[in-house]
Amino acid sequence: MRKNKKNKRSTASMSAQRVLVGGLPQEEEEVLQSPLQMVISSFVRDKIAMTGVILFVFIFLCCVILPFFFPIDLYYQDVTQANVAPGFGMLKVPAQLKNNAQDISVGSSFSVGLDKDGNVYEWGTFPTEKLKNIPSSSETGKLVQVSAGLDHVVAVNEDGQIFTWGNDRMGLATVPMELRTGGNDIKQILAGYQISLALTGDGQMYNWGSDYLLNITYPEGVQGNIDKFAASTNIVMVLTKDGEVVPLTGKASAYTNVPEEIQGDVVDLALTDEAAAAVTSDGRVHTWGNNIKKGLDVPEDIQGQVVSVTGGRYHFTAVLKDGTVRSWGDNTHGQANAPEGVTVSSVDSGYYANYAITEDGSVVAWGLKGYLMGTDALGRDLFRRILVGGRMTMTVGAIAVIISTVIGIAVGGISGYKGGKVDNLLMRLTEIVSSIPFLPFCIILSSILGNSISETQRIILIMCILGLLSWPGIARLVRGSVLAEREQEFVTAAKALGVREFGIIFRHIVPNIITVIIVNATLNFATCMLTESSLSFIGFGVTEPNATWGNMLTGAQNGQVIENYWWRWAFPALMLGICTISINCIGDGLRDAIDPKSKER
């Protein structure tokens, strides 16, 4: 009976304790949480740390996932798109021109148009401020044709007088005297890549500007017999009044292999930078040249229906008999996504965009709208390179941290547990590694190896060097923690059960100090990312064409870039700064959450 009474009192006492505990405030109830729950709860309440987590996870996911939707060709270059500012205004036709267009021409990153009153409009991203110096209508009179090139514009008025503005280097502003005075029947004009062309009604063609890239030679009997011309950055070709295609060059190339069966029957001609296309009288399109950008793959369903054809940088656009348009070739920027069901009167294609003018004067545009973060000096999309560069920078930093953490745990764990001579030897080794100057060592090693290793081997080498030289800090931390833990009762119990020393170190002690290791590894991750970026920035890390945030900043050493092309250094620096600060905030938050003395509980 006494035992039963004691049991009832004990049970009642425990129940009372449960009730009491259940009624405690939240702060006191927190004492009953497990250590992991306390760490998580404390970390989640840290607003700075959680902000760091959100930012880092967002950047990480963008760098991992988005490259699948925005693929990049590491060897892609296009000087016509060099140093284009951020924005999506390349296809934003001015409101005054949208329903009153007479002529529109596509430039490298800008466009120019004329309304039916002869007024000039320009929009897009201008390669030079000189393009904004449009001659006044009092100087030019009423303009009837206009053409945009790489960084200059050519226009002609109703009197046949030619004007040009924009970049005036290499003789682009030196219009032939007979074209300045007027009185000419100008049939066609073109502002090309460092060159300008004009064709008169009597079949005479004029060219001025640089002849370095396009050395134009006129075969006998061609001048005076030209009906139309087409030009790319590689060649100029003409269509004679006899329906023949004639390349104006003395060098053989893929362009000069004009199909014999079409000669004498061609009604229209167009060029891209890789291929040529000709329309014959039966409405069929014939192509030749290089099929690198699929410019030779003419859709079969339009054969026999084509009236005219125009060419951009790597794509063609055709106008069909029913007035609709079709595009094919490179579609990187949507320049081959021609609108369906739209009836047009004329089409202009150039570089990476197209403009179609309908019969009522309204404008339909498709193609390159712009770049989210602009382009670099080689015309490469910075947004795509930042995504790929972030993935590379994070990968190098993560693998380096894994290597250093594994070595540091092994060295620190053995040193702290064994003590004595082993501890002394391993700590002297740690001091030797710590004394190696990292940057000079990497520079010397890179100079010795030079180009004897591939880029992949260089990246692996950088990860290994970062990992092999950054472990002393975590080794010392692990050693100190193991020295404290090895005196605990569970270590004595493990020894009594006959557990081996390595088992005690890595199966019993290390799991008890893993939170400290995680904090240190997190902070070390940010350090490794900064170190890799520093190496790439000075040219001894990951090199072009592979992208990292560090080597993307290399071009920012130029004062002209800092002043005029802010996006080339601002976006990579911003991404690197946000990412490293976020990781440091996460590490600091973990350290505060794990350390019971950091906050009152």
Q: How far apart are CA 326 and CA 299, in angstroms?
A: 9
How deeply is 94 buried, as exposed, middle or buried, from its count of CB atoms within 10 A (0-12, 13-18, 19+)?
middle
pLDDT mean over 206-222: 88
User: Residue 147's pLDDT is what?
Assistant: 96
Nearest residue to 574 (alpha-carbon basis) of 440, 326, 411, 383: 383
CA distance 247 to 256: 6
Q: Is residue 126 scored above 50 in pLDDT?
A: yes
Q: Is the pLDDT of residue 16 over 70?
A: no
Of 309-313, 329-333, 485-489, the range with the lowest mean pLDDT is 485-489
Please give the single-letter amino acid code of residue 280: T
Q: Is 141 left (phi over 0), alpha (psi -120 to 50) or beta?
A: left
pLDDT at 488 over 70: yes
User: What is the chain's alpha carbon radius of gyration, rounded to the nearest angstrom?
Assistant: 35
Residue 28 scores a pLDDT above 70: no
Question: Looking at residues 168-187, what average pLDDT do you find?
Answer: 87
pLDDT at 12 over 70: no
pLDDT at residue 422 is higher than 70: yes
Q: Which candidate, 289, 156, 281, places its Cα nearest to that of 230?
A: 289
Res 599: pLDDT: 53
Q: What is the pLDDT of residues 396-415, one digit of tens each?
A: 889 999 999 999 999 999 99
C-alpha separations of 55 from 228, 549, 579 in Å: 57, 17, 7
Question: What pLDDT, in 10s, does the model give residues 534-583?
Answer: 888 877 778 888 888 988 888 777 778 888 899 999 999 999 999 999 99
In this prediction, residue 242 carries a pLDDT of 93
Band (598; pLDDT cuts 50, 70, 90): low
* Mean pLDDT taken over the chain: 87
Confidence of residue 32 (pLDDT cuts 50, 70, 90): low
Residue 224 has pLDDT above 50, yes or no: yes
Domains by residue range for the chain, with CATH: 67-77+381-594 (1.10.3720.10), 87-213 (2.130.10.30), 221-364 (2.130.10.30)
Q: Is 446's pLDDT higher than 80?
A: no
Is the pLDDT at 335 greater than 60? The verdict is yes
Look at residue 14 and tell me whether its pLDDT is greater than 60. no
| Residue 9 pLDDT > 60 | no
18-42: b or e for each residue (b if 16 or more CB lie within 10 Å)? eeeeeeeeeeeeeeeeeeeebbeeb
- Per-residue pLDDT tens over the stretch 508-521: 888 888 878 888 88
Instruction: Check pLDDT > 50 for residue 318.
Output: yes
Nearest to 385 by CA among 65, 71, 56: 71
Distance CA(196)–CA(470), nearest Å, equals 59
Predicted pLDDT at 589: 87
pLDDT for position 520: 86
Name the amino acid, one letter, at 201: G
**H or E stretch including 12?**
helix 2-22
pLDDT digits (tens, 9 = 90+) for 49-84: 999 999 999 999 999 999 999 888 888 889 899 999
Q: Is the pLDDT of residue 349 over 80?
A: yes
Q: Nearest 5°: phi and psi at 139? A: -85, -40
Pick from 25-34, 109-118, 542-551: least confident: 25-34
d(CA 167, CA 108): 13
Beta carbons within 8 Å of 268's beta carbon, 6+ residues apart: 228, 239, 278, 279, 307, 308, 309
Question: What pLDDT is attached to residue 559?
Answer: 79
Given this model, what pLDDT does residue 508 score? Answer: 83
Which whole number is the average pLDDT over 84-103?
Answer: 92
User: So what's the pLDDT on residue 15?
Assistant: 46
Contact yes or no for 370/114 (Cβ under 8 A): no
pLDDT at position 383: 95
Binning pLDDT at 50, 70 and 90, where does residue 144 land?
very high
pLDDT reported for residue 203: 93
- Whether residue 24 is predicted with pLDDT greater than 70 in this model: the reply is no
Instruction: Give me the pLDDT at residue 601, please.
Output: 43
Alpha helix positions (H), 299-437: 382-418, 420-434
Check residue 597 and give its pLDDT.
57
Least confident of 117-131, 277-291, 477-491, 587-601: 587-601
Q: Give the model's pLDDT for residue 311.
A: 95
